[in-house]
Chain A
Amino acid sequence: MKYTYYPGCSVMATANLYQESIDAISPKIGIELEELDDWNCCGATAYMSVKELMSFAISARNLALAEPFHRDVVTPCSACYLVLNKTNQYFAEYPELRKKLGQALEAGGLSYSGNIKVRHLLDVIVNDVGPEKLSSLVTKRLEGLRVVPYYGCQIVRPEMGFDDPDDPQSMDRLIESLGAEVVPYPMKTKCCGASLIGTEEDIALRLCCELLRSAEEAEAHCMVTICPLCQMNLDVYQRKVNRLCGTKYKLPVLYFTQLIGIALGLDPKDLGLQKLAVKISKPMKEIFQGA
């Protein structure tokens, strides 16, 4: 299965471990991700806060570049997923916006007719590859590993259709197909604070603290996520959470693609596991090696 791949800015930098694991597992699970040539930033939440039409226009440039390939666009980043989808949706819904975006794209020698579907990598792995096939490829079943499936907010909202906005299940099924155990987790889609971590740090740290507390209460070995910003906030900032909230969490936060890679028997180094700020714990190592 071949897709047009839209990586997003984060996987080139703070989430480069995500990209490494995606590169490592893609050929194994039979998906081909062809990077969209010369893609630009989707605009995320920040651009929209300053200029609206421009944010839709930069996002639409990517859709216009992707359209000639007639393939689904796949992105691993929840913010890119939301913004590109929102652009698509508003392009279809608001004629005035469509007209202006058409004119703007034309100035750059591009055009877009609205026929590209944007999907999250999780959607592709769960629905196109499927838990059954994944399960058959597993060489190291992760028996005994207790995992929190943390979806974060933007992958399921506003309603995109591929999973429930409050209680999504797709990643749960995927984790189970690897032999690991999904722990009950009521905070699946509660926000981590997103970019507020940069500007209003304490607010975001307290939200992360709640997420970590709930994971600890569920006696999880690790959290697994699908969003670069969620991973950074929970992983890189975990020590700060502990300092602010007087806690002692040491919970590894992995990308779902890293967990898949381990179960497929790939080398942890090729999956960027050594780049986690909170390192893999001893019990996890034992499960990873012993499996």
Chain B
Amino acid sequence: MLKKEIVYESDLDHGFLDEICALPGGHEIKKCIQCGSCSGSCPTSYVMDYAPRKIFSLIRAGFRDEVLDSNTIWFCSSCYTCAVRCPKEIKITDVMYALKRLAIKEGKTKGKKSVVLSKNFVKMVDKYGRNHETELMARYVFEAELFNAFKFIPQGWALFSNGRLPLLPHRIKNIDQLRKILKKVDELGEI
């Protein structure tokens, strides 16, 4: 269901399509024939504000805020089912990633818990060179779900009591090399 019942021409952002097309993989959405294979294949479309087919339609019509504020982009689990079934071979998962990054860039992340997890994941990798699952979950709970922390106890205990929750991280030996690579990417600018 669209949030606005009546949308005026002046409310639309006609530059949005061009902006998305400029993102890596973004130009592909012009090929979409609105067949709905993606929405029909998507395991999480049942909870999305707009299933993928509708997202593509909204982008092309210029519904900028609706797209970037939608839960759709954050409920994509990257299973790639849509991408392998798309008859126009659009890399839909890549488009979703591009939308995620655009939403983060524009600060449209309020209440989007997956952003907190992703950002902390990046922190883990930048710090150790590897993910430390235990610390990642602790940081995530602290930042995003402090008042729901008790909710994480059952699985935490199930992992810990079965010896599957190491407390110490593994840091790679040549973390400096990794940081030099990342610094260079920073200079080059994202794609």
Contact = CB atoms under 8 A, between A and B. Distances in A.
Contact of B181 (A47, A48, A58, A198): A58
Interface in B68-95: 74-75, 77-81, 83-84, 91, 93
A52 interface: yes
A46 B188 CA distance: 21
A263 interface: no
B77 A191 contact: yes
B57 interface: no
B177 A109 contact: yes
Between B91, B119, B184, the greatest number of chain A beta carbons within 10 A of the residue's beta carbon is seen for B184
A107 B101 contact: no
B114 interface: yes
A58 B183 CA distance: 11
Interface stretch (A153-161, A175-183, A246-254): A153-161
B30 interface: no
Interface stretch (B5-13, B58-66, B132-140): B132-140
B121 to A, nearest CB: 4
A214 interface: no
B97 A47 contact: no
Task: Choose among A45, A61, A237 the residue with the greatest number of B CB atoms under 10 Å from its CB.
Answer: A45
Interface in A1-60: 9-10, 12-17, 38-41, 43-54, 57-58
A240 interface: yes
A53 B44 contact: no
Given A61-B177, A203-B75, A53 B130 contact: no
B180 A43 contact: no
A58 B133 CA distance: 18
B35 interface: no
A236 interface: yes
18 contacts: A13-B133, A14-B133, A38-B172, A39-B172, A41-B130, A45-B78, A47-B121, A49-B101, A58-B125, A58-B178, A109-B180, A153-B81, A157-B80, A157-B84, A193-B77, A199-B74, A200-B47, A239-B158
Interface of A: 9-10, 12-17, 38-41, 43-54, 57-58, 61, 82, 96-97, 100, 103-110, 153-154, 157-159, 165-166, 189-191, 193-196, 198-201, 203-204, 207, 232, 236-237, 239-240, 274-277
Interface of B: 24, 43-44, 47, 74-75, 77-81, 83-84, 91, 93, 97-98, 100-101, 104, 113-119, 121-122, 124-125, 129-134, 137, 140, 144, 151, 154-155, 158-159, 162-166, 170, 172-174, 177-178, 180-186, 188-191
